[in-house]
Amino acid sequence: MKQTGLVIGGGLSGLFCAGFLALLGYRVELFEAAPRLAPVVRGFWRDGWYFDTGFHYTSGLGEGGILARVFRFLGIADALQVVRLNPQGFDGVRFKDGEEFLFPAEVSELRRGLAERFPADAEGIGAFFNQIDRVCNGLPMLKLKPRSVPDAEVENAWRCSLQTVINKHIRDPRLGRLLSLHCLLHGVAPEHVPFAVHAGVAGLYYRGAHTLRGGGERLVEVLRATLLSLGVNVHCNAQVTAIKLRADRSIDGVCLQDGREFVGRHCIATLHPHALPGLLPDKALRPIYIRRLRSLQSSGSACCLFGYPKRAIPQLEGRNLYLEFDSANGQAPIYLTRGSGEAHSGVIAICPEVETDWNIPDYRERKRQRLVEIQQAIECHSPNLARDICWVDGGTPKTFQRYANAPVAGLYGAAHCLDQVNPQPRTRVEGLFLAGQAVVAPGLLGTALSAFWACQEMCGDQRLREGLMTCQ
Ligand SMILES: Cc1cc2nc3c(=O)[nH]c(=O)nc-3n(C[C@H](O)[C@H](O)[C@H](O)COP(=O)(O)OP(=O)(O)OC[C@H]3O[C@@H](n4cnc5c(N)ncnc54)[C@H](O)[C@@H]3O)c2cc1C
């Protein structure tokens, strides 16, 4: 008889877990609290424009990339159209004084472009990118392999910050800004993010960035259809309120808010780790582990503007654009994107936000003020660009928190930062595993990797790894 795998949370992590488990022969029950799957990446439509809120671009979709393998293994690759962002510049940066820089999707080209622009730092640029490459190549999580012989450089890269490495190699502050720009992809400031995390995230983007036609909505729909065809039971409006344990403290099943109960000896929780202890009986987890989960810091959050283009915007054709401000005034870069870049793709502007607690009495007024400030910052930085966009709405950290049904705000859930130990996929409760951005890495790639590690641990053999490695 098939074993039952219970998956809590129907975001991307949960969808990937459900697919892997079904292919490994489990009978799968997937529970999502929201009315529809993956509310964060699904995005929304307004007046004929599609706003791809939670997914704009990713690494790992080039030939042989990890996500490309995952898509093939799950049988969704043919239903998705991968779009390569402009290889001459997948991300553009415009400084306030008008200088522009493009990030080409080829590390050697990027190094050359930076060395031409910052000749005095040419040697440091080489050293920085060599280090990014070595650490990125040495990360076991990206090779889908357990850590074997520890690599001293990779181990050190978990203990030092991106800023430390930049300070060591780079003198020009503007170059330093360019090299820390992609912190927006993990939501941790350069002085707090372990160099290993930044190398694993940004290092892969430097090798090529892709998006999907139809954006996050298409990905979710294709995943959903595939899960149904694999026999996964998908339950929406299904908030898990408790994880039941047997007397021997192994998993027995889950209880839903509507009173239904499901039995199963294996469970993967993909929700924010802060929420996990509240689902388990007292003493199921050690107090020190609970403290560790609850003290995990959040990744940075953001306010966001949604608008539509009044005419074609060349700076956002096949690429994204970062507006860089002088560091002196404390304004973080504002990131603009049209996601999958289709005719109906709306413009999204994301502005990192220091204030994450937006549960305040005058929320509506504060939100209005903040969105006006961001709009003005864009107008002041790039008036011509601003004239081409009609802003229609916006969101705050509270908006994203509500969409993710998360206990705290953070674009990428719990952060990966220095001086904190993130949870492993296996927990002390027999049969209970963790997946999600807190476990391995942030973003779409992080959700797929975390699902891989949780399912691999659960099935206890190498079938999943072997299956993925043979998928080209
Ligand atoms: C503005 C923004 C832009 C982004 N841009 C990108 C990008 O360009 N590229 C990229 O790779 N990533 C991007 N991301 C990150 C990406 O969206 C996330 O990696 C991804 O959505 C995380 O999926 P998840 O399943 O781990 O978490 P979530 O999507 O948060 O899923 C967790 C799910 O669990 C459900 N849940 C919670 N509690 C319960 C419960 N008790 N019972 C049942 N269900 C429960 C929630 O409703 C939720 O749907 C962006 C995120 C944001 C917010």
User: Ligand 1 centre and the CA of 11: distance in Å?
Assistant: 5
Q: Which of 173-182, 224-233, 327-336 has the lowest mean pLDDT?
A: 327-336
Q: Is the pLDDT of residue 140 over 90?
A: no
Evaluated on CA atoms 310, 55, 71, 469, the torsion sign reads: positive
Minimal-distance CA residue to ligand 1 atom 30: 404
Q: CA 233, 237, 242, 245: dihedral to nearest 10 degrees?
A: -10
User: What CA–CA distance (Å, rounded) separates 28 from 20?
Assistant: 10
Which candidate, 396, 308, 393, places its Cα nearest to that of 359?
A: 396
> Please, what is the Cα angle at 283 between 247 and 418, to 5 degrees?
130
> What's the pLDDT band for 471 if we cut at 50, 70, 90?
confident
Distance 326 CA to ligand 1 centre (A): 31
Facing residues of 92 across strands?
A: 102, 321
Q: Which two tokens stand for residue 203?
A: 């290092």
* CA distances (Å), origin 197, targets 58, 161, 192: 15, 9, 10
Strand partners, 51: 44
Interacting residues of 415 by C-beta distance below 8 A, sequence separation 6+: 186, 187, 188, 192, 296, 297, 298, 299, 300, 442
pLDDT band at 62 (very low <50, low <70, confident <90, very high): very high
Q: Which residues, judged by CB distance below 6 Å to any ligand atom, belong to the binding site of ligand 1?
A: 8-14, 31-34, 38-41, 53-58, 239-240, 270-271, 275, 304, 350, 400, 404-406, 411-412, 436-437, 442-444, 446-447
Residue 42: both structure tokens together: 């699904």
Residue pLDDT, tens place only, 195-220: 999 999 999 999 999 999 999 999 99
Q: Could you tell me the distance, in angstroms and rounded to a whole number, from the CA of residue 164 to the centre of ligand 1?
A: 30
pLDDT at site 155: 92
- The C-alpha angle 354, 360, 363, rounded to 5 degrees, equals 90
Ligand 1 atom 10: residue of nearest CA: 443
Nearest CA to ligand 1 atom 17: 54
Q: Degrees (nearest 5) of the Cα angle 63, 66, 70?
A: 105
Q: What is the CATH number of domain 4-38+214-297+415-469?
A: 3.50.50.60
Where b means 16+ CB within 10 Å and e means fewer, 414-438 reads bbbbbeeebbebebebebbbbbbbb
Domain boundaries in the chain?
4-38+214-297+415-469, 106-207
Alpha carbon 32 to chain centroid distance?
19
Q: How far apart are CA 5 and CA 27, in angstroms?
A: 6
The tokens describing 301, both together, are 């959050």
Whose alpha carbon is nearest atom 26 of ligand 1?
436
Residues 139, 150 contacting (CB under 8 angstroms):
no
Q: Which atom of ligand 1 is nearest to the CA of 57?
A: 8
Given this model, what pLDDT does residue 325 score? Answer: 87
Measure 41 CA to ligand 1 centroid, in angstroms: 7
Nearest residue CA, atom 4 of ligand 1?
Answer: 54
Which DSSP helix (H) or strand (E) runs through 116? helix 107-117
Phi, psi angles (nearest 5°) of residue 154: -70, -45
pLDDT digits (tens, 9 = 90+) for 232-279: 999 999 999 999 999 999 999 999 999 999 999 999 999 999 999 999
CA of 368 to the centre of ligand 1 (A): 25
Q: At 362, is the pLDDT very low, low, confident or very high (cuts 50, 70, 90)?
A: very high
Contact call for residues 184 and 352 (beta carbons, < 8 A)? yes
For residue 345, report the distance from its CA to the centre of ligand 1, in Å: 21
In whole angstroms, what is the distance from residue 6 CA to residue 123 CA? 52
pLDDT surpassing 80 at residue 98:
yes
Which pLDDT score, from 0 to 100, does residue 328 have? 60
Question: Does 183 have pLDDT greater than 90?
Answer: yes
Tokens, residue 86: 């402009």
Kindly report the average pLDDT of the chain as a whole number: 95
Separation of alpha carbons 307 and 389, rounded Å: 6
Query: To which H or E segment does residue 82 belong?
Result: strand 82-84
The answer to whether residue 315 scores a pLDDT higher than 90 is: yes
pLDDT of residue 225: 98
Predicted confidence (pLDDT) per residue in 66-82, tens digit = 999 999 999 999 999 99
Q: Return the residue whose CA atom lies nearest to atom 8 of ligand 1.
A: 56
Residue bearing the CA closest to ligand 1, atom 28: 11
Kindly provide the ipTM of the predicted complex, given to two decimals: 0.99
CA–centroid distance, 445 to ligand 1, in Å, is 12
Residue 147 — pLDDT band, cuts 50, 70, 90? low
Over 190-242, what HEC string results? CCCCEHHHHHHHHHHHCCCCEEECCHHHHHHHHHHHHHHHCCCEEECCCCEEE
**Which amino acid residue places its CA nearest to atom 12 of ligand 1?**
443
Helix count and strand count (H, E) for the chain: 17, 19
